[in-house]
């Protein structure tokens, strides 16, 4: 019979690089990423109106990336990166 062991999220911790990045980005207000996303959309719109379609598409694809980074930033601020962070709160 095969033994199964469930791995919980408490078995792992974040690495030094991830922890350092999270500490630095946590200093940014969450709406920074929203404004960056809106800026990318506006820039894409301007480039499109100037007839620079490829540049417009390139910059326009930044918007969802900024929004996802904002969500990640908010989650790290609210929940911490791992259980050891929560132990210090």
Q: Is residue 18 part of a domain?
A: no
**Range(s) of the domain holding residue 50:** 28-87
Round to whole Å and give the CA distance between 16 and 20: 6
Q: Which residue has the higher pLDDT, 82 or 14?
A: 14
Count of domains in the chain?
Answer: 1
Q: Is residue 67 part of a domain?
A: yes
- H helices of the chain, in order, are 16-25, 31-49, 53-60, 62-79, 83-87
Helix (H, G, I), strand (E, B) or coil at 4: coil
Q: Average of pLDDT values for 14-37?
A: 85
- Give the pLDDT of residue 35: 96
Calculate Rg over the CA atoms of the chain: 19
The model's pLDDT over 40-85, given as tens digits with 9 standing for 90+, comes to 999 999 999 999 999 999 999 999 999 999 998 888 888 776 655 5
Q: What is the pTM of this model?
A: 0.68
């Amino acid at each position: 019979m095969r033994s199964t062991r469930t791995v919980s999220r408490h078995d792992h911790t974040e690495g030094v690089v991830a922890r350092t990045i999270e500490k630095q980005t946590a200093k940014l207000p969450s709406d920074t990423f929203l404004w960056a996303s809106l800026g990318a959309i506006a820039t894409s719109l301007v480039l499109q109106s100037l007839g620079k379609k490829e540049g417009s598409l390139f910059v326009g694809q930044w918007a969802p990336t900024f929004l996802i980074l904002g969500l990640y930033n908010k989650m790290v601020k609210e929940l911490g990166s791992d259980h050891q962070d929560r132990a210090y709160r």
